[in-house]
Amino acid sequence: MKRPAIFLDRDGTLIEDRGHLGDPAQAVFYPETAPALRRLGGQFLLFIVTNQNGVAKGLTRLEDVRRVNEHVAAVLAREGIEIREIYTCPHQRSDGCACIKPKPFFLRKAEAEHGADLPRSFVVGDHPADVELAANAGARGIYVLTGHGEKHRAELRVPCAVEPGISAAVDRIGAERAAGVLRSGGLAAFPTETVYGLGADAENEEAVRRLFRAKGRPTGHPLIVHVGGPLEGWAAEVPPAARTLAERFWPGPLTLVLRRGARVPQVVTGGQDTVGLRVPAHPLARAMLAAFGGGVAAPSANRFGKVSPTTAAHVREDLGTDVDFVLDGGPCAVGVESTIVDLSSGAPALLRPGGVPLEAIEEALGERVAVPAATAVRAPGRLGSHYAPRAEVVLAAPAELEERARELRSAGRSVRVLRLPESETDAARELYRSLREADAEGVEVVVAALPPDSGLGRAVADRLRKAAGRR
Ligand code: TXA
Ligand code: MG
């Protein structure tokens, strides 16, 4: 199986460009290089492609260049980043060699010897020759403005993306790769400001069916469709209240249930004629949606009934190889799922408390929002057993937490007291991470107190109640 690769220029891209380096001690990494490459999570073959014309000019020796290369690879290896091979062209242009950029010599070599899939690969560099190299190999070029990037920017002759540095370049690669996976009918996990989503092309029924299987979710449970902007085609109609909420809270942690538009297949909505729509705010989700162009059906990227993931590592733990690509956008800022408001039939109703407080929604609408106790809609967020860690969750009044824990311990059970921060927003951000931690510790019982039912506390209390519900 061929794999997508990234071909990285060395000087001015990974390390500062300080002329003809002959000594590893002179290599200065950009601080963002290792963290950015680590976010790729080993999902690309990584190569360095560097031109060291100082060798041809007699300014450096090839063996010194090699020592610098080995040092660069060793530093990255210590950070858990594997560079498959470093390709060095020691010539200058007047030598007329076969390997100087932008000739695709080394990329073809990587294709033949390492199975690099060039049409799905990227070249990142700070010289126009780097992005021309991409064009010549049928790969995607990303030009960075570090190193000599600013200086040579006006000389760019081929279409390419331009980014401030390696970190933004890696984010773009991730967003474009996720979009490519979606386009080919695959499953891509992506960050949102609430929790990570497991995405499929909403208009590809086969992909959506695969998504249900990967998640282990019964097919009757509707999915939220994530879009980049306008609702045309996704909703059959957008009532004034929906416009008001969309203007006020999108992009953001709000899902609107509206009448299903023509682009939404039945599999997505579990056969219902309404659809949940959301415009997420996370910059990587937005970049992925922009690169993809369509709608992305996505539940939270965990197995059905488990705690939602708030980091890329959570997604990998839960879904392993059932997901084709994980786009890492760091820990989620909100930490609980979106608020779901049903506007499909007259009076607005709150189907799930979440990242936008109910109070803010009522204020924007200028009316009270009904909070139905139960609904005919098959909504997993409304099942008692949803959002549950492996451990049993026991609720107690704040003042009785320790006592309750003592009782359970003396009955021979291992217990963790869940202490969430005072601030509602901090509590929401930490809720799922701490439930996962409890599971990782292997405790049998988590004892928790409910925060007050206001602001984001309502969503936290809701999830804790559901986690405490009978399995
Ligand atoms: O924050 C979120 O909403 C996250 C991120 C990934 O966007 N997504 C999420 O999806 O929580 P999921 O599938 O775990 O929960 C979606 C909820 C379910 O309770 C589902 O029943 C409800 O949305 N839902 C979706 N479409 C609906 C519809 N047409 N009518 C009523 N409820 C709907
Ligand atoms: Mg360079």
User: What gap in Å lies between CA 193 and CA 210, rounded to an integer?
Assistant: 25
Distance between Cα 124 and ligand 2 center (Å): 9
- Residue 191 shares a structural domain with residue 167: no
Which ligand 1 atom lies nearest to the CA of residue 381? 19
- Residue 192 shares a structural domain with residue 336: yes
- Residue 357 shares a structural domain with residue 426: no
CATH number, position 104: 3.40.50.1000
What digits encode the pLDDT tens for the residues 3-53? 999 999 999 999 999 999 999 999 999 999 999 999 999 999 999 999 999
- The pLDDT value recorded for residue 384 is 47
The answer to whether 110 and 45 have CB atoms below 8 angstroms apart is yes
Boundary of a domain, candidates 143, 174, 205? 174
| Structural domain that includes position 9 | 5-174
Question: 3-state class of 248 per DSSP?
Answer: helix
- Residue 161 shares a structural domain with residue 190: no
CATH number, position 248: 3.90.870.10
Whether 223 lines ligand 1, by a CB cut-off of 6 Å, is: yes
Boundary of a domain, candidates 365, 381, 415? 365
- Residue 98 shares a structural domain with residue 158: yes
User: What gap in Å lies between CA 434 and CA 432, rounded to an integer?
Assistant: 5
Whether 225 lines ligand 1, by a CB cut-off of 6 Å, is: no
Q: Give the angle subtended at the CA of 75 by the CAs of 69 and 77, to the nearest 5°.
A: 100
CATH number, position 431: 3.40.50.11030
| Domain presence at residue 370 | no
Boundary of a domain, candidates 130, 150, 174? 174
The answer to whether 178 and 289 have CB atoms below 8 angstroms apart is no
- Residue 345 shares a structural domain with residue 445: no
Distance between Cα 234 and ligand 2 center (Å): 44
- Residue 275 shares a structural domain with residue 154: no
Number of domains present in the structure of the chain: 3
The model carries a pTM of 0.95
| Domain presence at residue 377 | no
What digits encode the pLDDT tens for the residues 179-195? 999 999 999 999 999 99
Choose the residue to mutate in 190, 211, 224, 284 for probing ligand 1, maximizing ligand atoms within 8 Å of C-beta. 224
| Domain presence at residue 103 | yes
- The pLDDT value recorded for residue 374 is 59
Residue at token pair 């390997």 = 99
- Residue 136 shares a structural domain with residue 265: no
The average pLDDT across 358-370 equals 97
- Residue 38 shares a structural domain with residue 143: yes
Whether 353 lines ligand 1, by a CB cut-off of 6 Å, is: no
The answer to whether 162 and 170 have CB atoms below 8 angstroms apart is no
Provide the pLDDT confidence category of residue 388 given band limits of 50, 70 and 90: confident
Q: Is 362 exposed, middle or buried (0-12, 13-18, 19+ CB in 10 A)?
A: middle
- Residue 160 shares a structural domain with residue 197: no
- Residue 142 shares a structural domain with residue 21: yes
Distance between Cα 101 and ligand 2 center (Å): 11
Which residues sit opposite 350 in a β-bridge? 341
- Residue 215 shares a structural domain with residue 299: yes
User: What gap in Å lies between CA 362 and CA 59, rounded to an integer?
Assistant: 70
